[in-house]
Chains A and B, each alone.
Chain A
Amino acid sequence: EIVLTQSPATLSLSPGERATLSCRASQSVRSYLAWYQQKPGQAPRLLIYDTSNRATGIPTRFSGSGSGTDLTLTISSLEPEDFAVYYCQQRTNWPITFGQGTRLEIK
């Protein structure tokens, strides 16, 4: 199975700053990587799919990049509502796997 390792585990930033979240895969995921945002008590929300495609209604400050085994989610300028947990997910091979998550907290 493809293991996804997210870093850092926790990221402390202030509103207006740029956030860079990393997802490293144990083998190439090609382009089949998605990012989700989850807030407490809520279901995850799809942000980015197939590495760099924004899901419907997702603001342009969210962007995805990378290829192969090193993928990145960037939030260009943090808004107060962006502080949450972020998960990466691959669909290249069965089983589908998720990273362990990065908690983005207010500094």
Chain B
Amino acid sequence: QVQLVQSGAEVKKPGASVKVSCKASGYSFTRYPISWVRQAPGQGLEWMGWIGTHNGKTNYAQRLQGRVTMTTDSSTSTAYMELRSLRPDDTAVYYCARVLYYDSSGPFDYWGQGTLVTVSS
């Protein structure tokens, strides 16, 4: 069965970086893009960016441009999201999600379990 398993919770200080992993199983990794979505405590869903798993092409939310990098490792079927220069308002649960259609932007049919990133001094 399709599964996306994310790395564990992180606590970071302001200005630091965090790298969250998302290991896929149960399907052909390079056939489906991955998006990343975050959710601040008690808030709604915010799309962060998208990566084509067969070619590494990316599309990032403008407000995160310059601070976020998304990559994949097809040898391990793992996607990564790195966020730099962390601020307290980056505190959120970060989700990876599989895109339903090959080479499309959405929708998201399978989601990881979420990774809580807390940014605090």
Contact = CB atoms under 8 A, between A and B. Distances in A.
Interface of A: 32, 34, 36, 38, 43-46, 49-50, 55-56, 87, 89, 91, 94-101
Interface stretch (B10-18, B23-31, B107-115): B107-115
Contacts, number: 61
**Lowest 8 CB-CB distances: which A-B pairs, in order?**
A91-B106, A34-B107, A43-B111, A49-B107, A96-B47, A98-B45, A91-B105, A101-B44
Interface of B: 35, 37, 44-47, 50, 59, 61-62, 95, 97, 100, 104-109, 111-114
A89 B106 contact: yes
Nearest to A43: B111
Given A91-B107, A95-B62, A43 B113 contact: yes
A55 B99 CA distance: 13
Contacts of A56: 109
Contacts of A44: 37, 45, 95, 108, 111
B59 A94 contact: yes
